[in-house]
Amino acid sequence: MYNVFIDGKEGTTGLRIFDRLSDRTDIELITLPEAKRKDAKSRAVALNNCDIAILCLPDAAAKEAVSLIENGHVRVIDASTAHRTAPGWVYGFPELQANGFRNVQSATRVSVPGCHASGFLALIAPLVQNGILKKDALISCTSLTGYSGGGRRMIAHYEADYRDVQLKAPRLYALGQAHKHLPEMQHYSDLDTAPAFLPIVADYLCGMLTIIPVFSAQLTPGKTAGDIKSVYQALYGGPLMQYREQMDENGYLSGGRLSGLDGMDVSVSGNDERITLLARFDNLGKGASGAAIECLNIMIGANPYEGLNLGKESEL
């Protein structure tokens, strides 16, 4: 039996993790009463008396939580941006590295990838690693997300009784090209230059669609779209991550198709000259809560997919 404390379980990511873990027989959740959940002393006691702490906090609070841990046996999974490129932290996307699962299993500090970064890296990192995409390629990435990615405040805004007409249309944001996921997107893709990143939030709760156009000239000479498909087929064989030869629904792609699920689908469309790389998942699934649970499972030696929802697709 492993004792797990979710620091910040009241947020969107924390709530889904809590729900996924509540019925587990191999895990006992440590909880604090409402009056003490923000009390530093109470949090410190919980953080130092668990086997694994899962941090679902803003960056500053996540750093504070780590500083409160004095027990060297406590292992940490941080879902914030705070430690994603920090020395000593293992990036919690085991499918991207040859020894990824082993690295997560032995880690004491694991950072959960950002939702936008997850789609981008699933598509780009293997192509750079396998010498198919040039490291100096200039890449642009569009990422469509449901509004749950903005947390409780954005959810409340979108779901208020009085609806701003502007919210009914998709909205581009992070216009200054300084989105907080960009450092990890460049770092773990091994690209020479960070991508031009265009995130879009739309009027639906959960789901993410990552779109990356690639010209054949950006590939290593002799490499083709067929080589990209071969890499994805070999790497993403399921059950959590799957390559799909065709991912559209009668010529359309819904960003909400995997809403509520924890898996990710990857595909390639376009033609030999203009290739489109596609990743579809739930921004709270493989993009956040699901990724944290996968890491937890690996760290405690459980089935990596225990407690994850890999069921039927949404009808959206």
**Per-residue three-class SS string for 200-252:** EEECCCCCEEEEEEEEHHHECCCCCHHHHHHHHHHHCECCCEEECCCCCECCE
Estimate the crossing angle of helix 12-21 against helix 290-300, to 10 degrees.
50
Residue 115 is among the residues annotated as catalytic for this protein: yes
Structure tokens at 90: 């293992």
User: Nearest 5°: CA angle at 201, between 199 and 207?
Assistant: 100
Amino acid at 36: K
**Crossing angle of helices 151-158/12-21, nearest 10°?**
100
| Cα–Cα distance, 84 to 87 (Å, whole number) | 9
Distance CA 69, CA 86 (A): 17
**By the 8 A CB rule, do 201 and 171 touch?**
yes
CA torsion angle 280 225 218 145 (round to 10): -10
Contact 113, 91 (CB under 8 A): yes
**Catalytic choice (115, 141, 206, 295):** 115
Distance, CA of 268 to CA of 288 (rounded, Å): 24
Q: Which helix (DSSP H) or strand (DSSP E) does residue 266 occupy?
A: strand 264-270
Integer CA distances (angstroms), 43 to 3, 11, 35, 113, 197, in order: 14, 16, 11, 24, 36
Instruction: Provide the residue type at 33 as one letter.
Output: P
* Residue 271 backbone phi and psi in degrees, to 5: -140, -175
Residues noted as catalytic: 115
